[in-house]
Amino acid sequence: MQEPQNYSDLIYIYGSIVNVILQRSTDSLAFHNKLLMTVILLQQIIKTFFFLRIFETLSYIVTMIYSVIYDLRIFLFFYGILLLFFCLIFAVLGVGNHRQEGHFQDMYNSLIEEEGEDPPSDFPNEEYKWINPLMGYLFSALRTSLGDNDFSASTYLTVPENYLFWVLWFLVTTITCIIFLNFIIAEASASYENVKSRLDAMIFKEKASLIAEAEDMYTIKFKNDQKFPKYIIIRKIET
């Protein structure tokens, strides 16, 4: 239980058993079944990548992916902090928030009174109505940082608020999209080059870790045999 990777294995094994039971005893399209199957499929992705290291032609790809993600952990953390602060600024401004008094709230309430139901799906920020408003602003900041801009909600702001919105949009686009994302791409390229320069050593390290894991799974009978460890040592040297 000291190895974090084992928790992924336990979730996958026991989650699959529970999934079979629930699929046979309850509605297969129920939400809890969909949630469980989603978790199992995510674990399958992890396990598939893990076992692809066995094949020499695919080992370097998996090794490079793991190494690059590990190298970028600090930059991604800093990127998340930027998104969080920008989403708080949008929340203070109240862009597309029907809970805040203003023209947007009046338009939102009038549509509900006229149609007797929620506004249409193309109404500004209506895609975020089922989640927390702060999370909606976080996703909006993320979409803006990736170049996916939606300015429909800004048309319901007052003139001073609209000016402030465009200043904020310029800052988000410049800092997160133009500067920081390109900085992450440059660091990812440098990480790829670093991994590529010592790729053979890292592949041998992955093979050695797989051998060590296989040895840990042997029964006590084989481990106590005096001839078996010698055979393993020879196989290690040959590998």
Output the pLDDT for position 116: 61
**Are 165 and 25 in contact, with CB atoms under 8 Å apart?**
no
Mean pLDDT, each 10-residue run in order, the chain (239 residues): 80 91 87 91 87 76 79 86 90 80 74 67 76 87 85 82 88 86 82 76 76 74 54 49
**Are 63 and 195 in contact, with CB atoms under 8 Å apart?**
yes
How far apart CA 149 and CA 138 sit, in angstroms, is 13
DSSP states of 142-157: HHHHTT----GGGGGS
Task: Give every CB contact of residue 230 below 8 A, 6+ residues apart in sequence.
Answer: none
**In the chain, what are the domain boundaries?**
1-54, 73-192, 198-239
The pTM for the full model equals 0.68
- Strands of 29-148, DSSP E: none
**Are 94 and 140 in contact, with CB atoms under 8 Å apart?**
no
Output the pLDDT for position 122: 65
Output the pLDDT for position 230: 47
pLDDT tens-digit series, residues 173-191: 888 888 888 888 888 888 7
Neighbours of 158 (CB within 10 A): 10
Output the pLDDT for position 221: 66
- The candidate with the shortest Cα–Cα distance to 210, out of 71, 40, 41, 62, is 62
Q: What's the gap between Cα 98 and its chain centre?
A: 29
Own/partner pairs, 129-136, CB within 8 angstroms, 24+ separation: 133/91, 133/97, 133/99, 134/87, 134/88, 134/91
